[in-house]
Amino acid sequence: MPKLRAGTKRRVHLFLGVLCVIAFGGAAFGSVVGRTPLIGALNGMINSVIVLGGIVGAEMFLPQTRLGHALERAPFLVTFAVKWLVYQALIVVVIGSGLVRWLVLTVLLGGDAAQAIIQQAPSLPPRVVMLIITLFVPSSILFVQFSRLIGERTLRDILFGRYHRSRVEERFFLFIDIVGSTPLAERIGPDAVHRFLNRVFQLASAPIDDHAGEVYQYVGDEVVITWTLAEGRVCARPLACYFAIERALAEAAEDFQREFGAVPRLRAALHAGPVITGVVGGSRRSIVFHGDVMNTTSRIENATRDLQQSFLASEDALNRLEGIEAYALEDLGPQQLRGRAAPLRVYAVASESKLTAISATQ
């Protein structure tokens, strides 16, 4: 049996938790509207688990499939229409006809008992079914699509007002830059290089999710990933995330070479420290980070060119991580970074597997 990715495990656990809430809510609603509390609760639980559980499950797991990728690439109106029609059909079949409910009860209790329960079960008025179809389904799809546009965590933090007032946080920031995108654009054209970068960022999304990272922003050919101190320090997640992205791109190297005539190479910098986190903006709001940490991380990333290293991490970041003994660290000493008065000690970082491969060739 294939091992589940860490990000998939988190989604499964979240889905099971949501499913329990849905089942309880459906049972409570059914017990109130049913002819008898027990039968009403049973029918309400089955309906809600199949309908709401099916919709929630599709929105959580479908994007990781080929069909989900195809839907994401389609125009928004096409994606919205397809999902609305499918979810509408699910509601009509489950709630309107009761066929799925009868099949479930037949499997669990037998045909006679299922028929008896169905006969005593309340049927929702057509107006209620239409209200669910016209209001709940479209609003759910819009909510999910919007969360993907601005980021699930950002949307959650805005909704719950976590950063309504700015606060000081300790955070890790990982800047990853795609090397050579400018000359590549000159060779293959801006449209092709956009597809190149988009493919890189898509492949990076699963490792970022697996290591509990949050994409702060995409800036040209660079992605900025962040963790709170508590999220990032466990198992040196920022370091593990970078090397997982490297592996994902290496596995797709042949596809990149065939389609674009180039294989993506990365440069990265990791730093950590206090930042001011808060919501800014009026008509368009977003959560931003202000502080010297951001500028310093950018300077460290620039230093990868001068020091001819692919991945640099500051001493401040490494001191905040747990499990760094799993990586090969080379102390490059205090470095005078552009725009900073005081030097900063940095380390070149390599995975143990890469270090072993280099040693074997020597």
Across-strand partners of 215? 225
Same domain, 72 and 142: yes
pLDDT bin (cut points 50, 70, 90) of residue 359 is very low
Determine contact, residues 81/89, Cβ cutoff 8 Å.
Answer: no
**Amino acid identity of 189?**
G
Q: HEC string of 294-321?
A: HHHHHHHHHHHHHCCCCEEEEHHHHCCC
Same domain, 229 and 253: yes
**Domain ends where: 150, 182, 198?**
150
Dist. CA 232–CA 318, nearest whole Å: 11
> In degrees, to the nearest 5, what angle opens at C-alpha 238 toward C-alphas 157 and 235?
100
Domain annotation covers residue 1: no
Comparison of pLDDT for 287 and 236, the residue scoring more = 236
Same domain, 162 and 132: no
Same domain, 310 and 164: yes
Domain annotation covers residue 104: yes
Same domain, 263 and 123: no
Q: What is the pLDDT of residue 79?
A: 80
Dist. CA 184–CA 261, nearest whole Å: 9
Contacts of 231 (CB under 8 A, 6+ apart): 212, 237
- Model pTM greater than 0.85? no
Q: What is the pLDDT of residue 293?
A: 93
What tokens does 247 get? 């592996």
Same domain, 20 and 125: yes
Same domain, 132 and 187: no
**Domain ends where: 150, 177, 192?**
150
Same domain, 118 and 249: no
Whole domain around residue 78: which residue ranges? Answer: 6-150
Phi, psi of 321, rounded to the nearest 5 degrees:
-100, 150
Same domain, 206 and 103: no
Domain annotation covers residue 106: yes
Dist. CA 90–CA 82, nearest whole Å: 12
**Amino acid identity of 184?**
L
Please determine, for residue 163, whether its predicted confidence score (pLDDT) is greater than 80: no
CATH of the domain at 301: 3.30.70.1230
**Domain ends where: 150, 169, 201?**
150
Please determine, for residue 217, whether its predicted confidence score (pLDDT) is greater than 70: yes
Q: What is the pLDDT of residue 362?
A: 39
> In degrees, to the nearest 5, what angle opens at C-alpha 160 toward C-alphas 157 and 163?
50
Same domain, 345 and 207: yes
Dist. CA 75–CA 26, nearest whole Å: 34
What tokens does 321 get? 């991580």
